[in-house]
């Protein structure tokens, strides 16, 4: 039971970190990422 709870906690922590970094990337690097996407699709 305890190991199952720890597994869920670690998954939740991972999801929070992933969401945080996704939001930070979108805020800070929106212009950069859109330029990269434009370059990729123009190839």
Two tokens, residue 16 = 């929070």
Q: How far apart are CA 24 and CA 8, in angstroms?
A: 24
pLDDT tens-digit profile of 11-43? Answer: 888 888 888 888 777 776 666 767 777 777 775
pLDDT of the residue at 43: 52
CB 19 within 8 A of CB 26: no
pLDDT of the residue at 37: 72
pTM of this structure: 0.43
Residues 6+ apart with CB under 8 A from 15: none
pLDDT of the residue at 1: 64
Assess whether pLDDT exceeds 80 at residue 10: yes
pLDDT of the residue at 18: 85
Domain boundaries, the chain: 2-42
């Amino acid at each position: 039971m305890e190991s199952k709870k720890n597994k869920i906690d670690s998954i939740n922590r991972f999801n929070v970190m992933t969401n945080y970094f996704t939001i930070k990337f979108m805020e800070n690097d929106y212009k950069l990422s859109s330029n990269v996407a434009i370059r990729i699709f123009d190839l």
